Every structure is written in C-alpha cells, then in structure tokens.
Amino acid sequence: MIPDALKLSVGARAVRALAQLRSRSGAFPGRDQSTAFLGPEPTGKKARRFHVRDKRKLTNRLREFFVYSPALGRTVGVRVLLPGRPSEAAPVLWLLHGSGDDFRSWTDFGDAEALTADSPHLVVMPDAGAASYSRHALAGLRDTGAGTGIATDAVLDWPQFHLLELPDFIARTFSVRTDRVGTMVAGLSMGGYGAMKYAALHPDRFAAAAAFSSPLDPVSAVPLFDIIALREGGTTRSLFGDPKHDRAEWEANSPVSLAANLRHTDLWFSAGSGAPDPDSQDAVDLLETEVAGHGERFHAALEGHGIPHVWNPRPTGIHGWALWRRELQEWLAHVSVAPDAVGDPYADGESFEHVTGDPAFEVHGWEVSISRRRAQLIRFADVSGHGFTLTGSGTFRVRTAALFHPGEQYRIEVSSPLTDTSYLLRADADGRLEITGRMAGAMHDPIVPGRRTRHFREFGSDAVTTVAIAAVAEGAPEAAGTGTTATTSSSSYDGNRETRQSSPVDR
C-alpha cells in the first residue's frame, strides 16, 4: 500500500508542475482574471494612491468593487455584503477565500449571502491572489513592447492591503465599527490560515477568529506553500525562504508558533477527517486529512498555553464547499451566542506576551523596533508598567503604552548577555517612555558556511534581555530633559559582559 504521505507528495509535485507551466505562460489564478475591462493599470500619481476603479450593485445586499492598491501595484476585487440586520454602526466580518478561489467565491459557492441574512455584520470578502496572506517578493520580466523584457522586482504586500488600505476604505465608505469588539475574521483553507495569522499578529484588532480546513503549521506543509508561491508568479521557497536556513521566517508566519498571542481571542477552528460523507461517492481526501493534522497541532499549542478555544475535528468531510458552508453556518451560530469580548484586555496595563518575527510592530499600545542582522522570532513578554523581556539579538527601541505619569522620572535598568545599563527617563506628555538598549550579540552568516559553523546563525536567538521600570523617589537627581538623564558612567568587563551606568546617549 502506498503511504498517504507519498501520495500527498506526488500530488504536490503534479500541482507544482502545472503551476510552473502557468508561470511560463503568464497566467496565474487570481491574477488579471477580472480587470481587463478596466484597461491598463494606473501609472504616475494615480499608482501611488488607493482608489476605486469600478463599483457595482449586484443584489440588494451585495456590492462589488475593483480597487487599485499601491501595496500590490495592481487592481483587485472586493465584495461586500451589507448587514442583514442594519444598525447605526455595523460590526465587520472579514471573510477570506482559499487558494485557487477569489473574492467572489464565498458568495458564488459558499452561500455567504444567505447564511448572513440575519447577521448584523458587514461582510467584507477581499481578493488575496493565490492566497498567501503574506508579503511576497517576486522577480520577473516586464515587457518593453519590442519583443524583449527587462528585469523587474515586485512585492505583493497582502497584509498591507488587507490590514491597512482596505480597512481604511471600508471605514470611509460604510458606517461600521472599527474597535476590536466589532471586528472578527474567518476563512477557509488558506483563508483560515490568513485569518488565524492576522489575528495572532494583531490580537488588539480582532475579537474572534475562525479557520475551516486550514494549514495552520506551514513548517510541516512546505510543498503546499510552494504551490502558492508558484501560483502567484514566484519560485519555490520565495514566500518564507528555505525551511532549514530561514526557519525563523517560517515560524514567524505560523499560527502554531504565534499561538501565545491569542489568549483573549475567541477561537474556533475545524477540519474534516478526509473520509467522504456516507451518502457521497467522493474518494478519501488526503489534503483534508493533512490539514486535520494541522488542527491537532494548533489545538495542542493552544492547550500548552492554557488558551480557551473550540476545536471541531469532524468524523467525515472532504476539502470542499459542502463542508465549508456547514462550518460557516455553525461558527456564525457560535459567535452569535458567545460572551461579549472586551475591547482591549491590556489597556489597564495587565501583563501580556507577544510573539512575532517582525522587526517593528505595535501591540496593545506598545511600539517596538529591533535592529538585527538576521530574521528571528522575537518574544516580547512579561510586558507591564514594571518592565518587559525581549528574546533575540541586536538593539531595541521600545515606546511604552501610556501607563506612566507625565513629566515624572523613572529608572530604567537593562540587563542582557552583553551589558547591564541603568539610566533615568522622564515620561512624555502622553505618559509614555522611550527605552533603548542592547540585546544579545547579533546573529550573522559565517564566512565559511557549513555544519561546523551553523551555530553562528543561531547564537543569540534565545537570549533574554530584561528591562525593569521603577518610579524615582522625590529628591532624586533631576533628568536633563524629557527622555534621558546623563549619570556618572563607569565600565567594567567580566569576560564578554559589560556593566555600565550611563545614559543611552553614552552608548
């Protein structure tokens, strides 16, 4: 008997071969399928701003837009379902499609209009190309019109489109809520992957997230993500790099690795077993069996963090619309009776943890930027008005949430594998502090790469830097101004560790 894993591998190779043929012919699913009637893409000033190129009223509730996105450098489609139960300001449901589908699929095949007939939500169904829900750098040729081409690079920044450009357009066009409680996201297959990843990277933006039959552990599904890359016109490994040498990038885009961020999100995910329903003539679906395993791993990760969630492994069900229509209906029933979510559970300074691979991010009012040599998974943990910890290497700059008394002084103590530093800061007019410091030694590529020098790419990735924040008692030396205090400086070395008393300017 041929092992299931081998069957999946053979199937993946066949789809990759088909995608390569499409790549050479310039035809990609979800690309240039519906916009030819609009003419050439905008250039010049028009290409630098988001704008609507066409709009249509399809039914009493269904609207269709074609919008130009600077983040994508092209025109894409968006469908919007007006609320079944209108209100002054509607909550928003982002409903994401899977690979090979597009922005029309949920209404054309998923009965989204009928299933949300009694819903108070404005349902937004954006295009996602081949459905990577990631920032994808492409390299290719641009036709010069003379039968030749010149090399050109393009970036499909789907998160920028989905999380910044499109929400701004929706808020300007419709009467909707923009707070966390009024926003939830769901999707099928790769759309469910996008829903969980977006919710994990931005836990202060989505109160609920759902995934139906979704690959939630990219590290164990490299061929599937290679297929997506090929369909979007890239090459294999062009999404997140090599899964061995660039593992941090894969983990940074994995809901399983980011599970700790979802503590206060209403989570619901499901998958069929791959076995067809009793009254069906379909064969066993190995893809659905595979993603069911992803659901189990995501479930285990959430359990490990003690995070409440709903995991529904189904005894039957294949990777298709019959299953996803049932899942959407059941999840909508679930969220309609779920307890009201809190707006931002960390607004009052409650301690939290956030895992990300982004070198710059904002979460729960905190702004963090890391200067680093290599991609790494950053753990921003034990975050409160008393301080925080950071894992990884490089230097950091953190602007705190507005938790402090404006104008008052605070002592900052930074302890890392490289240095111990102490200095004074004065909170700004908003009650924020801007803290800088050094982390572990920067990771870098060895001059002669190989097995013996592999540690150069990993050294420092798990090192912990601790920052303590304490109010300064009255009568302490005054700060030199908002931001820093220049204190007496002395240095001593203990091996590779430096101990200093200084201001950040000293460094």
The 10s digit of each residue's pLDDT in 455-485 is 556 667 789 999 999 999 766 665 544 444 4
- Shared domain for 216 and 307, answered yes or no, is yes
Nearest to 396 by CA among 420, 357, 370, 417: 370
- Shared domain for 243 and 356, answered yes or no, is no
Identify the pLDDT of residue 328.
97
Q: Is residue 346 part of a domain?
A: no
- Shared domain for 417 and 456, answered yes or no, is yes
Identify the pLDDT of residue 245.
84
- Shared domain for 123 and 180, answered yes or no, is yes
Q: Determine which of 67-81, 192-206, 212-226, 329-343 has the lowest per-residue pLDDT on average.
A: 329-343
Identify the pLDDT of residue 367.
97
| Residue range 130-186, pLDDT digits in tens | 999 999 988 753 443 444 343 446 889 999 999 999 999 999 999 999 999 999 999
Sheet containing strand 491-494, edge to edge, reads: 352-356, 378-384, 387-391, 464-471, 409-415, 419-426, 497-500, 491-494
Q: Is residue 345 part of a domain?
A: no
- Shared domain for 327 and 359, answered yes or no, is no
| Residue range 295-341, pLDDT digits in tens | 999 999 999 999 999 999 999 999 999 999 999 999 999 998 776 66
- Shared domain for 328 and 183, answered yes or no, is yes
Identify the pLDDT of residue 323.
94
- Helical (H) or strand (E) element with 149: strand 149-157
- DSSP-derived secondary structure letter, 451: G
pTM summary value: 0.86
Tokens (6 digits) for 260: 């700790």
Other C-beta atoms within 10 Å of 9: how many? 12
- Shared domain for 323 and 369, answered yes or no, is no
- Shared domain for 295 and 436, answered yes or no, is no
Identify the pLDDT of residue 457.
61
- d(Cα 498, Cα 421) in Å, to the nearest integer? 9
Angstrom distances, CA of residue 32 to CA of 343, 413, 484: 39, 54, 54
Nearest to 312 by CA among 299, 325, 302, 321: 299
How many domains would you assign to the chain?
2
Q: Is residue 347 part of a domain?
A: no
Give residue 212's Cα distance to chain centre.
17
- Shared domain for 321 and 359, answered yes or no, is no
Parent domain of 267: 4-35+45-337
